[in-house]
Amino acid sequence: MIKAVTGAKDILPNDIPKWYFIEELIRNFFSNYNYKEIRTPIFEETAVFSRAIGEETDIVSKEMYTFVDRSETSITLKPEMTAAVVRAYIEHSLGNLQSLNKLFYISPMFRQERPQAGRLRQFHQFGAEAIGGLSPLLDAEIIIIAYSIIQKLGLKEFVLKINSLGIPESREKYKVILGDYLKNHFDELSEESKKRFHKNILRIFDSKSPEDQEILKNAPYLINHLDENSIEHFNIVKTILDNNKIPYEVDPALVRGLDYYTHTTFEIVSGSVGSQSALCGGGRYDNLIEQLGGKPTPGVGFAAGIERLILAMENEAVPFNEPSPLDVFFVLLDKDKYLLIPKFANLLRNVGLKVEHDYLQRSIKAQMREANREKTKFVVFVGGDEFTRNLFTVKNMSDGVQTEIPIEDSLSSLITMIKGN
């Protein structure tokens, strides 16, 4: 049997209401905060991601879907959105249209990792990028939006972690300090961390190995080696979160695996989705736009994984909106009158009602069963003796009460019945 590619999943009709529920909530939220939607292509020139995210990161070095197309261009399916948004921002000079662009997106992403609970090769993220402002108001707003959406979805088991990476200058100084400390413990580090020691020393903080964690306990933390401005920036972010009653933990070991972050970084971690627990992550990236060839422009953003949110909601038994029931189901009593059905059904559909009927010449019993399965409010019987008297029989499915209505008046009668129900 031919199947979907590993790590790529069909979203079947039964699950669609969950997606609508989340997507609607997201769009409303971003609308309230005046973020404008942006849609970028599903693929980009590979350099967009390799330059933005960092050549040494796992995403770039081993997880991207990269191929050479027929014109010999290296193409990559987008593994994350920030780099793509920044590319579009620069290409279309969005910064010239207004000094601050508040953007959001909902989009599929692609990373070739081994699938597991909460991890797919094609997955979906929504997120936001506020490009053009240095203010900690924006860092806080981004965090508040991410937190509030997750809260509004009905989730309870999650924690917000924040940290500051400061500016590159203080980070470089700190790396030397961290290096001096770790040098004395180098032999005790895990193999992976030994590699990181040379490639990207900060990422050693991501290690889950107990030996590494033991060593890191007494390590100097970046947050204690920030410059004055970075400290001030971080303090304001925290104050705004406090004022908005957003609970958080400062996690000095929160580093994150993308190279472009400066100042604030944050993550929202779920306690109900298994080992892939990050629901959401983001932070400030003040050097990225320049790095990709734009004018020096600060930015801050986040991304959240929709599949993980759905998983968390299922595991926490959070209710989703039910699909709306049918207003009317036409049951055909006399098979030879089937041509009448579309005419009446479409009249109702054109005034905004949800209407269904049988297409398979099924028995009355079968038609009724389907009407019941679809949680129909009213069944209209077409045919029979009442038809010769110019009447329809209408049955209210919740109480079983039947009434006869004149055919020529059926539209308004039905609307009245449905509205009153």
Distances in Å between the Cα of 339 and the Cα atoms of 60, 336, 358, 359, 361 are 59, 8, 12, 11, 12
Of the pair 21, 381, the CB lying nearest RNA is at 381
Site string for RNA, 48-77 (x = CB under 7 A): ---------xxx---x--------------
Nearer CB in complex with RNA: 206/316: 206
Applying CB under 7 A, does 198 fall inside the site for RNA?
no
State the distance between the two ends of the chain, measured CA to CA, in whole angstroms.
47
Exposed e or buried b per residue across 133-172, where buried means at least 16 C-beta atoms within 10 angstroms of its C-beta: beebebbbbbbbbbbebbeebebeebebbbbbbbbeebbe
Under rule CB under 7 A, residue 108 binds RNA: no
Binding flags for RNA, 216-235, as an x/- string (CB under 7 A): --------------------
State which residue, 175 or 375, has the beta carbon closest to RNA.
375
- Among 70, 114, 217, 419, which residue sits at the site for RNA (rule: CB under 7 A)? 114
Give the x/- contact pattern for RNA in 342-361, rule: CB under 7 A. ------------------x-
Count interface residues toward RNA (CB under 7 A): 67
Determine the longest span between alpha carbons in the chain, in angstroms.
97
Q: Between 35 and 381, whose beta carbon lies closer to RNA? A: 381
Q: Least distance from C-beta 337 to RNA, angstroms?
A: 11
Nearer to RNA, 209 or 231 (CB): 209
390 counts as binding RNA under rule CB under 7 A: no
The CA angle 402-405-411, to the nearest 5 degrees, is 115
- What residues between 18 and 37 interact with RNA by CB under 7 A? none
**Which stretch in 23-31, 157-165, 318-326, 395-403 sits in contact with RNA by CB under 7 A?**
395-403
Q: Provide the mask over 305-344, with x wherever binding to RNA is found by CB under 7 A and - wherever it is not.
A: x-xx------------------------x-----------
The verdict on 251 binding RNA (CB under 7 A) reads: no
Q: Is residue 395 a contact residue for RNA (CB under 7 A)?
A: yes
- Per CB under 7 A, the list member of 28, 224, 350, 402 interacting with RNA is 402
Determine, following the binding rule CB under 7 A, whether residue 301 of this chain makes contact with RNA. Answer: no
Rule CB under 7 A: choose which of 256, 263, 284, 357 binds RNA.
Answer: 256
Tell me if 274 contacts RNA by CB under 7 A.
Answer: yes
From 125, 164, 272, 287, residue interacting with RNA (rule: CB under 7 A) = 125
379 is a contact residue toward RNA (CB under 7 A): yes
Q: Which stretch binds RNA (CB under 7 A): 16-24, 29-37, 129-137, 201-209?
A: 201-209
Kindly state whether residue 276 participates in binding RNA, applying the rule CB under 7 A.
Answer: yes
HEC readout, the chain:
CCCCCCCCCCCCHHHHHHHHHHHHHHHHHHHHCCCEECCCCCEEEHHHHHHHHCCCCHHHHHHCCEEECCCCCEEEECCCCHHHHHHHHHHCCHHHHCCCEEEEEEEEEECCCCCECCECCEEEEEEEEEECCCCHHHHHHHHHHHHHHHHHCCCCCEEEEEEECCCHHHHHHHHHHHHHHHHCCHHHCCHHHHHHHHHCHHHHHHCCCHHHHHHHHCCCCHHHHCCHHHHHHHHHHHHHHHHCCCCCEECCCCCCCCCCCEEEEEEEEECCCCCCCEEEEEEECCCHHHHCCCCCCCEEEEEEEHHHHHHHHHHCCCCCCCCCCCCEEEEECCHHHCCHHHHHHHHHHHCCCCEEECCCCCCHHHHHHHHHHCCCCEEEEECHHHHHCCEEEEEECCCCCEEEEEHHHHHHHHHHHHHCC
Residue window 153-192: x/- pattern of binding to RNA, with contact defined by CB under 7 A? ---------------------------------------x
| Minimal distance, residue 93 CB to RNA, in Å | 27
CB of 122 to RNA, least distance (A): 9
Residues 6+ away with beta carbon under 8 Å from 115: 6, 7, 121
Binding stretches for RNA (CB under 7 A): 3, 6-7, 57-59, 63, 80, 111, 113-120, 123, 125, 192, 203, 206-209, 256-258, 267, 274-281, 303-305, 307-308, 333, 360, 362-366, 368-373, 379, 381, 383-386, 393, 395, 397-398, 400, 402
